[in-house]
């Protein structure tokens, strides 16, 4: 398993998508979720005149990526921020626009590998799940304080869990006996709450609940709804955005925002496109691209990836 750790997903495809706007000229790209710096390292190596703004909400990820990217010197600037703060990060760096933005969403391999962060249901650990462990509610606090109705909503909407109400009721009953603090006890409860037939065919019974808790703790979907439009606003005309999602809820948000920006804003029924009302975005992928089996065999995390990419249309073309 060690050989599969920290392998950037769809790396060659990302290099291909960004090459037309980064090659042979000075350029700036934001890696909005730099993580361990795998994509960033490859992009900086491929484009010697590229400068990169590395964002991450996880201080440990920034520390590790700084070590990895140190050889690129002052071509990299690091900002501790959630990715919806991209405009503020650019202002801090004295920039008004960039040539590219990359999002590699979801929990990182580092966060999964560090048992004490509580993201994985495979090992007993404190129920934390904060991507930035310096702020916000932990998963334990959510489990121990949210009303049953709110827990049901989170499990249903963020985990797409069919047995959300049953699980929420079991959580409320169990926390009355003793508050939750570690993952093993929660996993045991989930195993008992999910019917045996579903356990046999629906994957690990804890997977959907852990996803839902992580999304709630980190506000991931609300952040993404703000971040994608902010990134598109920050792109220079002709600039490109690439987004890797790992679950349907994220991908749906990206798809909707891209579709809105790629549509004409001319009122229906008019015979010609009004000046300044044309599409603002050109889609570079047909739907969401997936990883091939060869990559999945090497890097199992690639199995669930959905990649979408687009280019900001120059005003004269809009």
Q: From the annotation, which residues make up the binding site?
A: 37-39, 56, 83, 104, 111
Separation CA 185–CA 83 (nearest Å): 33
Whether residue 182 contacts residue 127, with contact meaning beta carbons closer than 8 Å, is answered with: yes
Which helix (H) or strand (E) is 92 found in, with range? Answer: helix 86-92
Which helix (H) or strand (E) is 144 found in, with range? Answer: helix 139-145
Tokens of 252: 């749906």
Tokens of 144: 């121990």
Which helix (H) or strand (E) is 55 found in, with range? Answer: strand 50-56
Tokens of 215: 């999304």
Residue positions forming the annotated binding site for S-adenosyl-L-methionine: 37-39, 56, 83, 104, 111
Q: Report the DSSP beta bridge partners of residue 129.
A: none
Query: What does DSSP assign to residue 75?
Result: G
Distances in whole angstroms, Cα of residue 234 to Cα of each of 13, 90, 127: 23, 9, 36
Separation CA 309–CA 102 (nearest Å): 9
Residue 107, SS3?
coil
275-314 as b/e, with b when 16 or more CB fall inside 10 Å?
Answer: eeeebbbbbbbeebbebeeebbeebebbebbbbbbbbbbe
Block residue for tokens 């990715």: 83
Using CA atoms in the order 77, 52, 236, 265, what is the torsion angle rounded to 10 degrees? -90
Separation CA 300–CA 309 (nearest Å): 22
Separation CA 166–CA 314 (nearest Å): 52
């Amino acid at each position: 398993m060690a050989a599969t750790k920290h392998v950037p997903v769809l790396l060659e495809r990302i290099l291909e998508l960004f090459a037309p706007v980064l090659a042979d000229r000075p350029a700036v790209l934001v890696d909005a979720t730099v993580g361990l710096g795998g994509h960033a390292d490859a992009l900086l190596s491929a484009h010697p005149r590229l400068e990169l703004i590395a964002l991450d909400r996880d201080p440990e990820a920034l520390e590790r990526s700084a070590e990895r990217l140190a050889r690129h010197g002052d071509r990299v600037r690091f900002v501790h921020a959630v990715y919806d703060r991209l405009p503020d990060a650019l202002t801090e760096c004295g920039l008004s626009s960039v040539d590219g933005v990359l999002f590699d969403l979801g929990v990182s391999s580092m966060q999964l590998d560090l048992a004490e962060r509580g993201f994985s249901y495979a090992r007993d650990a404190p129920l934390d799940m904060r991507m930035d462990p310096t702020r916000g509610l932990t998963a334990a606090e959510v489990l121990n304080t949210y009303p049953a109705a709110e827990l049901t909503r989170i499990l249903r909407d963020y985990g797409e869990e069919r047995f959300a109400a049953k699980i929420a009721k079991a959580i409320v009953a169990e926390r009355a006996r003793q508050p939750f603090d570690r993952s093993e006890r929660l996993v045991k409860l989930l195993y008992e709450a999910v019917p045996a037939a579903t356990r046999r065919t629906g994957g690990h019974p804890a997977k959907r609940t852990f996803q839902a808790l992580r999304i709630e703790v980190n506000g991931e979907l609300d952040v993404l709804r703000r971040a994608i439009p902010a990134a598109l606003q920050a792109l220079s005309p002709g600039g490109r955005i690439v987004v890797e999602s790992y679950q349907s809820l994220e991908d749906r948000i990206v798809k909707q925002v891209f579709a809105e920006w790629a549509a004409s804003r001319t009122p229906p029924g008019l015979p010609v496109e009004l000046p300044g009302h044309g599409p603002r975005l050109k889609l570079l992928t047909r739907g969401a691209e997936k990883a091939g089996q060869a990559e999945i065999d090497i890097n199992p995390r690639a199995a669930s990836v959905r990649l979408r990419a687009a280019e900001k249309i120059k005003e004269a073309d809009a």
